[in-house]
Amino acid sequence: MHIYIELDTEFNVKFDSSPIEPVDLSKRDIIRDFLTGISIVRHMIISHRILEVLYHYSKLGPIPTFHNLSHLQASFSSPSLQLLPAFLESCPNLKNLILDSVPEQIDLTSVPRCLTSTLEYVKINKLIMREETGIKLVNYFLENLAVLKKLALSFVDCPMPNKASDIIMELVTSTKLSHGCQVIVDLYAADEAGDLVGTW
C-alpha cells in the first residue's frame, strides 16, 4: 500500500507571538500525537510552515521515527533548514529527497543515518548560482551520501551557461563519497524576451 500525505498547517501556533514553550504541554502533546499518527506514511510533502513547527517542537522532545518514509519533498524558509538533519535522522529508510528552494543561511554539521545507508536520489530546486548556501548544501550531499545514485540540481537566475561553466564543472567533478553518483544540472536564465533558456 502506498501511503501518502501532504502537510501544510501551523497547528494554530504563531511563532511571532506565542512560540511553543516547555510549559505549554497541550501544544506539544497535540503535535507529538499527530506526528506519531502519521509516522506510517511512505510518501510525504511538507511545507515550510510544518518545518517551522517541527523546528520549535524538536527543542521540547524527539521527533517520532518515520520507519516507512521513503520519499520526502520539503520547502524551506530561512530558519527551517536547521531542522533538516534532525528530521532526516527520524527517517532511517529514506530513499528520495526533493528540496524546493534553499534558505539564506544553513548550518549542516551532523550526518543522519539515511545519508550513509539508504538515500539514493536528491533533487534541489531553485538554486541561485551566486549564493554560497546552495553550493554548500550541494557539497554536503556529495560528501556525505554513501549510496547516492543521482543528484539533480535546478538553478534559476543564473548567468548564461558559458559564464556558469566553471561553477558547474566544479560541482560535477567535486569529491563524491558515492563514486557512482550522477550529477544532473539544469540552468535557466532569462533572455532578452524574458523566456527561460539553457540546459546544461
> For 88-126, how does the pLDDT look when each residue is reduced to its tens digit (9 = 90+)?
889 999 999 999 876 666 667 778 889 889 999 999 988
pLDDT, residue 59, reads: 78
pLDDT (mean) for 160-181: 67
- Where do the structural domains in the chain lie, given as residue ranges? 23-191
| pLDDT above 90: percentage of residues in the chain | 16
Query: Could you tell me the pTM of the whole model?
Result: 0.80
**Residue 196: is its pLDDT beyond 50?**
no
Is pLDDT of 158 > 70? no
Tell me the average pLDDT of the chain.
Answer: 75
pLDDT at 197 over 60: no
Q: What secondary structure, in 3-state letters, does the chain show?
A: CCCEEEECCCCCCCCCCCCCCCCCHHHHHHHHHHHHHCCCCCEEEECHHHHHHHHHHCCCCCCCCCCCCCEEEEECCCCHHHHHHHHHHCCCCCCEEEEECCCCCCCCCCCCHHHHHCCCEEEEEEEECCCHHHHHHHHHHHHHCCCCCEEEEEEECCCCHHHHHHHHHHHHCCCCCCCCCEEEEEECEECCCCCEECCC
Q: Please say if the pLDDT value at position 11 is more than 80.
A: no
Rounded mean pLDDT, 167-192: 69
- Decide if pLDDT at 78 tops 80: no
**What confidence tier does 199 reach under pLDDT thresholds 50, 70, 90?**
very low
More confident: 37 or 82: 37
Confidence check: pLDDT of 79 > 60: no
Residues 15-25 have pLDDT tens digits of 544 556 665 67
